[in-house]
Structure 1
Amino acid sequence: MAKLLANRRGAPGISWRPQGTEELCEFVNSTNLHRRGPQVRFAIARTADDTIVGSVGFHSISMTHRSAEVAYDLHPDEWGRGLATAACRSVVGWAMTQGLTRIQATVLSGNQPSLRVLERSGFEFEGHLRKYRWVEGIAHDALMYSYVQT
């Protein structure tokens, strides 16, 4: 997973790049379901061999405002199979059962595959955020999407 996130060519839409396995392990170990915290992350694994091919979860969780931001990443070899969409739909459905009413997502404006995941998962476009994310020293625009429980 560290190699996936560090790979600029294979993961151009990811704005967080751990510097190595140690930093990634620290992040993973800080997120577990048995304590409340600002983030929760789940592995995406292939059913056939249980190999981890990505992750999906929430950060910026606010139980006060019943909201969170979803994020996901998937190894490029797994793109185009519907895994990210299935994972996104699944965690959003779960989050609604946990008392959240709003899930939002910010996507770098050029990341068309991620935009399709959100649209297929029932998210709606809310706005354009100028110079919102810094990636490799450059400010990038992002698009805000949301899924709101009705």
Structure 2
Amino acid sequence: MPESRTAFAAADVLTTRRLMLRPWRVDDAPAALDVYGHAEVTRWLSPEMDQVPDEAAMRLLLQQWNAESARLPAPAGRWAVERTSDGQLIGGALLLPLPPGREDLEVGWQLRPDTWGNGYATEVTHALAAWAFSQDVYEVFAVVRAGNTRASSTLRNNGMQWVGETAKYFGLDLQVFRLRVADLDPAAPATLGPPGRD
């Protein structure tokens, strides 16, 4: 695989130039609620994920995510996204098998709205794809609700190709993007789009 600007400190911690993707901790609940408590974030997520109402619900969800990640084989999992310059938790990231057959691996992210437009989603997507590809995965997918042009732009910034629409996942009409090993641009995290693109 070509040299990448994404480095892997350990199997459960991924680092980029500006971010650290690390396991969730239950004490992340207040900062996580700043992400998953926003309707602007959760409106684009799967129907299985509602807006989180309070810290107690967020703590319970983080415990469930940690238990889920512990059961999943690498490279699948869920991560907290922390900005390294100030240690702020700014979002979450995932590599999860897509329903119903669980044969396709989904790459995804959720970021606090006040951090949008800084290229963080592009870095997260690149880091997750590079991690998956380092673990003998040959393609990853992203599914996007119609109208989520910000996410579609981020996926294209990472070289993901639109492959069509389907109702196969989550029972919704979703746009499907795919990235294969040969399509991952090692320079993508260093070549961030203009503000407002992700």
User: What TM-score comes out, normalization by structure 1 length?
Assistant: 0.80
Report the alpha carbon displacement of residue 66 of structure 1 after superposing the two structures with TM: 7.8
- Report which of the two has the higher share of strand: 1
Matched, 1:6 2:37: yes
Deviates more, 1:43-52 or 1:124-133: 124-133
Equivalent residue in structure 1 for 2:58, among 21, 25, 35? 21
Alpha-carbon distance in 2 for matches of 1:36, 1:115? 28
Alpha-carbon distance in 2 for matches of 1:33, 1:132? 23
* Amino acid across the alignment from 1:71: G
SS of aligned partner of 1:88: helix
Matched, 1:147 2:184: no
Alpha-carbon distance in 2 for matches of 1:69, 1:47? 25
Q: How does 1:1-150 map to 2 (within 5 A)?
A: 1-15=32-46, 16-17=49-50, 18=52, 20-32=57-69, 36=73, 39-60=76-97, 67-130=104-167, 133=170, 140-150=172-182
Kept in 1, the 8 Å contact 2:77–2:94? The answer is: yes
Alpha-carbon distance in 1 for matches of 2:162, 2:136? 23
SS of aligned partner of 1:9: helix
Kept in 1, the 8 Å contact 2:75–2:132? The answer is: no
Alpha-carbon distance in 2 for matches of 1:131, 1:66? 12
Structure 1: gaps (5+ residues): 135-139
Kept in 1, the 8 Å contact 2:97–2:103? The answer is: no
RMSD: 2.8
* Amino acid across the alignment from 2:156: E
Kept in 2, the 8 Å contact 1:69–1:103? The answer is: yes
Task: Indicate how the Cα distance of structure 1 residues 10 and 87 shifts in structure 2: closer, same or farther if over 3 A, else same.
Answer: closer
* Amino acid across the alignment from 2:40: R
Structure 2: gaps (5+ residues): 1-31, 183-198
* Amino acid across the alignment from 2:35: L
Deviations 1:63-109 (A, max 9, x none): xx985111110000000000010111011011101100010010101
Alpha-carbon distance in 2 for matches of 1:100, 1:131? 21
SS of aligned partner of 2:45: coil
* Amino acid across the alignment from 1:92: A
- Report which of the two has the higher share of helix: 2
* Amino acid across the alignment from 1:149: V
* Amino acid across the alignment from 2:163: E
Deviates more, 1:82-91 or 1:17-26: 17-26
Deviations 1:85-143 (A, max 9, x none): 01110110111011000100101011111111110011000011249546xxxxx5210
